[in-house]
Amino acid sequence: MNSLDKLKQAFITALALPSGAEAERAVYGETAGWDSVAHMALVAEIEAAFDVMLDTEEVIDMSSFSKAEEILSRHGVAVRAA
Position 82 pLDDT exceeds 70: no
Number of neighbouring beta carbons within 10 Å of residue 25 = 13
Q: CA torsion angle for 20, 26, 29, 31 (degrees, to 10)?
A: -10
Position 13 pLDDT exceeds 80: yes
Tell me, what's the pLDDT at 21? 85
pLDDT-derived band at 80 (thresholds 50, 70, 90) equals confident
This prediction has a pTM of 0.93
Q: Tens digits of per-residue pLDDT, 14-67?
A: 999 987 889 999 999 999 999 999 999 999 999 999 999 999 999 999 999 999
